[in-house]
Amino acid sequence: MSTDLFTQEVYQPLASKRRPQSLSDFLGQQHILSQGKPLRETINSGLPHSMILWGPPGVGKTTLAKIIAQAADAHFESISAVLSGVKEIRAAISIAQQQRDAHGRKTLLFVDEVHRFNKSQQDAFLPYVEDGTVIFIGATTENPSFELNNALLSRCRIYVLKGLTLDDIKNIVTHSLPELNANNNSTLTIEEKALELLANAADGDARRALNLLEIAADLVPDDSSVLNSDILQQVLVGDNRRFDNKGEYFYDQISALHKSIRGSDPDASLYWLCRMLDGGCDPLYIARRLVRIASEDIGNADPRALEITLNAWNAQERLGSPEGELSLAQAVVYLAIAAKSNAVYTAYKAVMADIRSMPSCEVPIHLRNAPTKLMKQLDYGKDYRYAHNEEGGNAAAERYLPEELKDKQYYFPTDRGLEVKIAEKLTYLRSLDKKKKSEK
């Protein structure tokens, strides 16, 4: 690469060299870029508006911003929210003002990872977006509804970009081989099986695909010109799929796991469990969520679910990874096929809602302990009926709720699993209450 100590060819990653320069070279995102779509028409008109590009890494957010600037013949100014603050924002705005005043030229200000800016930093853009000093394009991998303030969102249109398809990735890799060969003075080809493997491993991310291709190419023996799947597997060992712990993908996938279990689909439940584990999610976080699901979505329809999830959590803590993860898989399958009931969850929420919306209710006198003489004189515990001394161990018609809530019912068992028996028992107990009250 270098000719001597003082003259060097600057290395540029293949992904950077292969960045499309025009919309005709841009692959993917046809849902917003095909003929007739608003963003396509905006680019073709050369009159762009401020926008937020929201999508996963490596799908062309930065490239698209540059293409928009070129189509509009606008000065392209870029800052990264990871490395910048208000000082850098002001400097970029100053350059935009100079371009406008000295050359009559628009400036497209591209802000990468815009969700990293705090509220005050985001507010710094508002007057300049408002008066047209800059055309603002923010790129984010996080949900703008959560990460960007309303004032900025109201001035921008949001475009959602998707992960690239397998065919998109294959086309990008195939069309990048000549560039790679020119760099390395080689005639490298890639076998179909390896191309399929690379496209899957890229997980919709073009930058990832080209980085993996570049690394794998260096491992091809000098006496070969074929990149095969065996070589590619060496690069992919220990490689994780897109997950972004505690980010958008994290919450999407845990939501998918929870809903798959609730929907009694063991196959989908296992899939989302393994996706999260493969992405690097902490198995103990998943264990905690499974315990929650056991109570929220299964409850007394199958009380064994809670025991099984607690045992899986314990096994994960004792064994660690990867051995302990099989216990999580066992628990996930059990939860998925178990009888479902949210009756306890619903009852709990209803009780909490009443407690928070009503004045504090007094404990009925007969339910209070009377450890002192004064308390006895105040009738604490008077007329309390000890259930074990009653017929069947049940003090029929005894009142346990506060007077204000005496007829309230919160728990309604379902007709699924063990709750069928629980419902029968409650019906029987209530018939005894009714009978006892009629005798008074």
Residues in the chain: 440
Contacts of 81-87 with CB under 8 Å at 24 or more apart are 81/111, 81/112, 81/113, 81/114, 81/115, 81/116, 81/117, 81/121, 82/112, 82/113, 82/116, 85/121, 86/120, 86/121, 86/124
pLDDT average, residue stretch 423-435: 92
Each domain of the chain, given as residue ranges in start order, spans: 28-160, 166-236, 248-337, 361-439
Q: What amino acid occupies position 278?
A: D
For residues 128 and 110, the answer to whether their CB atoms sit within 8 Å is: no
Task: Give the pLDDT of residue 3.
Answer: 46
Kindly report, residue by residue over 43-59, the tens digit of the pLDDT. 999 999 999 999 988 89
Phi, psi of 27 (to 5 degrees): -105, 140
Q: Is residue 229 scored above 90 in pLDDT?
A: no
Determine the Cα–Cα distance for residues 290 and 284; give it in Å rounded to an integer: 10
Q: Is residue 77 scored above 70 in pLDDT?
A: yes
Instruction: Detail the DSSP E strand segments found in 42-144.
Output: 51-54, 75-80, 107-112, 135-140
For residues 167 and 141, the answer to whether their CB atoms sit within 8 Å is: no
Matching CATH number, 361-439, of 1.10.3710, 3.40.1000, 3.30.300, 2.60.40:
1.10.3710
Q: What is the mean pLDDT of the chain?
A: 89
Q: Is residue 425 scored above 90 in pLDDT?
A: yes
- How would residue 2 be classed by pLDDT, with cut points 50, 70 and 90? very low
- How would residue 339 be classed by pLDDT, with cut points 50, 70 and 90? very high
Look at domain 248-337 and name its CATH class. Answer: mainly alpha
Q: Is residue 61 scored above 70 in pLDDT?
A: yes
- What is the CATH number assigned to the segment(s) 28-160? 3.40.50.300
Omega into 322 within 30° of 0, i.e. cis? yes
DSSP state of 309: H
pLDDT average, residue stretch 225-240: 80
Percent of the chain with pLDDT over 70: 95
What spatial distance separates the first Cα and last Cα of the chain, rounded to whole Å? 101
- How would residue 440 be classed by pLDDT, with cut points 50, 70 and 90? low
Determine the Cα–Cα distance for residues 386 and 390; give it in Å rounded to an integer: 7
- How would residue 350 be classed by pLDDT, with cut points 50, 70 and 90? very high
Kindly report, residue by residue over 376-422, the tens digit of the pLDDT. 899 999 999 999 999 999 999 899 999 899 889 999 999 999 999 99
For residues 113 and 68, the answer to whether their CB atoms sit within 8 Å is: no
Residue corresponding to tokens 């760099």: 183
Q: Is residue 12 scored above 60 in pLDDT?
A: yes
Question: Which are the contacts of 86, defined by CB distance < 8 A and separation ≥ 6?
Answer: 120, 121, 124
Token pair belonging to 375: 């308390």
Q: Which architecture, in CATH terms, is 166-236?
A: Orthogonal Bundle (1.10)
Which among 376, 300, 373 is positioned nearest to 340, based on CA atoms?
A: 300
Determine the Cα–Cα distance for residues 39 and 71; give it in Å rounded to an integer: 12
pLDDT average, residue stretch 127-135: 91
Please state, as a whole number, how many other Cβ atoms lie within 10 Å of the Cβ of residue 131.
8
Q: Is residue 218 scored above 90 in pLDDT?
A: no
Q: Is 69 exposed, middle or buried (0-12, 13-18, 19+ CB in 10 A)?
A: buried
Q: Is residue 261 scored above 90 in pLDDT?
A: yes
- How would residue 1 be classed by pLDDT, with cut points 50, 70 and 90? very low
Phi, psi of 77 (to 5 degrees): -120, 135
